[in-house]
Structure 1
């Protein structure tokens, strides 16, 4: 597997994720719950917790729920830190 193969895979993955999170019926979902983020990134609850703890992924806690900005997740996937 070459670097070019990895770049192609990343590009295809980002395209698919963007299609999954496209605004439906004219409304864009700006905040995602933990379960949605885990499903989108295909990661475990522990991995998501580590992303929060080490500051890789910002979040907001309202009541007992944790929310993540879609914009931050997109930046993470594109290789930039949020």
Structure 2
């Protein structure tokens, strides 16, 4: 997509669908993590999203986080709760 392209409602709906699919994949692997607190890189990899998407989730309040001495941590259980809350059943 070039800088002159406009995003349509369909583009946003497609993006939402992809995010929901990734959330579902992460839910399927929910037993894989044994750590309670995850760093940004771990969360981005777990959800299959970019670091900038993760930052947007922080900014818009989608994912709660804790910041300690400049390092951002996410509670694994909170991530699972957000994914469950956004679950789409067809």
TM-score by length of 2: 0.63
Gaps of 5+ in 1: 1-8, 24-28
- In structure 2, the partner of 1:18 is 30
- After TM superposition, the runs of 4+ consecutive aligned structure 1 residues lying more than 2 A away are none
TM-score by length of 1: 0.68
How big is the shift at 1:78?
1.0
Secondary structure of the 1:47 match is helix
Distance in 2 (CA, whole Å) between partners of 1:66 and 1:32 is 8
CA RMSD of aligned residues (A): 1.9
Gaps of 5+ in 2: 1-20
List per-residue Cα deviations over 1:37-76 (Å, max 9, x = no partner): 0000011011000000000101111112100000111011
- In structure 1, the partner of 2:58 is 52
Higher relative contact order structure (alpha carbons within 8 Å, sequence separation ≥ 6): 2
List per-residue Cα deviations over 1:1-51 (Å, max 9, x = no partner): xxxxxxxx78x6222x21321x3xxxxx11000000000001101100000
Distance in 2 (CA, whole Å) between partners of 1:47 and 1:73 is 14
